[in-house]
Amino acid sequence: MSTIVPDKKNAVGAATGARNLAIYLAACLFVGFGLFPLYMMITTSLKTDQQTFAWPPVWLFTPRFQSYYNALFVFGGRSADHYLFNSLVVTLSSSALAVFLGAMAAYGLARFRFRGNRDVAFYILSTRFAPPVGFIVPIYLMVQRSGLLDTQIALIVVYTSMNLSFVTWILRGFFLEIPIEIEEAALVDGYTRWQIFLRVALPLVRPGLAATAILSAIFSWNEFLFASILAPGDAATIPVYLAGFSASMNIDWGEYMAVGTMAVLPIMIFTLALQRHLVRGLTFGAVR
């Protein structure tokens, strides 16, 4: 076969190289665009007022932590740590409750055949059809009558119920993916349904538990509307407290941004901690 045309692989290689570089640059631009506000928030929290308002902007400066000190210790009355703590309690409790209750509901919907199974599943999702603002008045009244206004419990109950529907739906999908034979094997091995749920099914949907926990926590942590109406005072969460800054006459931008930065950190740590459980394919290789 002497007629074979020699290889021109370098030309092909150069073309793909240029294309890759263009894609890479575009991606960098996009990421920079997304991260810029975050960058502004953190740097502003570390600047003096003069530096903050300087034009052209100051890019290099000695960071100072006065704003953080002010936010946590000097302010008269409640300081930021009180509201951060409120947010932490409400977020962790409501997420844990939503994931646990949701997992049980999802398992039931995925594994048991009963009349109206699909209707129930649809009903659970339908609770999220209306905009939450639409039922804020009845909820306010319920909370008020039960004497729970401005308590953490009110927010925990409301957030749990709001998160429950999507947690149930997502986890139902995960449970349906577990091969039924694994659970039947456990049944034959001598386990009860409840134990199969705890010892076989739950470990196998760990990625789903992590995903739903993260989503619930982000929602609860950032929710503003219900928090501002049901718990405007002592039990206020961090978004409500933050909103107070922009309402005041002369905004202390340094402190505002310091509280903002502190509000971002916990949820970021929580998400990063759970992220490693998000790996898919835990059930891979279990059955063929």
Distance in Å, CB of 241 to other proteins, minimum = 42
Between 143 and 201, CB nearer to other proteins: 201
Own/partner long-range contacts of 152-155 (Cβ < 8 Å, ≥24 apart): 152/86, 152/89, 152/90, 152/93, 152/231, 152/235, 154/230, 154/231, 154/235, 155/90, 155/94, 155/220, 155/226, 155/227, 155/230, 155/231, 155/235, 155/237
CB 160 within 8 A of CB 94: yes
Distance in Å, CB of 24 to other proteins, minimum = 17
Between 49 and 184, CB nearer to other proteins: 184
Between 137 and 187, CB nearer to other proteins: 187
Q: How far is CA 42 from each of CA 48, 240, 245, rounded to the nearest angstrom?
A: 12, 20, 16
Between 204 and 259, CB nearer to other proteins: 204
Between 154 and 202, CB nearer to other proteins: 202
Binding site for other proteins (CB under 8 A): 1, 3-5, 7, 12, 179, 181-182, 184-192, 195, 200, 203-204, 206, 282-288
CA distance 171 to 268: 23
CB 239 within 8 A of CB 83: no
Between 55 and 284, CB nearer to other proteins: 284
Between 110 and 157, CB nearer to other proteins: 110
Q: Number of C-alpha atoms within 13 angstroms, CB side, residue 146?
A: 11
The burial of 31, by beta-carbon neighbours within 10 Å (0-12 exposed, 13-18 middle, 19 or more buried), is given as exposed
Distance in Å, CB of 180 to other proteins, minimum = 9
Distance in Å, CB of 192 to other proteins, minimum = 6
CB 163 within 8 A of CB 95: yes
Hey, which bits of the chain come out as E strands?
none
Distance in Å, CB of 152 to other proteins, minimum = 35
Give the closest residue to 221 by CA, choosing from 255, 271, 258. 271
CA distance 267 to 222: 9
Distance in Å, CB of 208 to other proteins, minimum = 14
Distance in Å, CB of 16 to other proteins, minimum = 11
Give the closest residue to 171 by CA, choosing from 87, 108, 242. 108
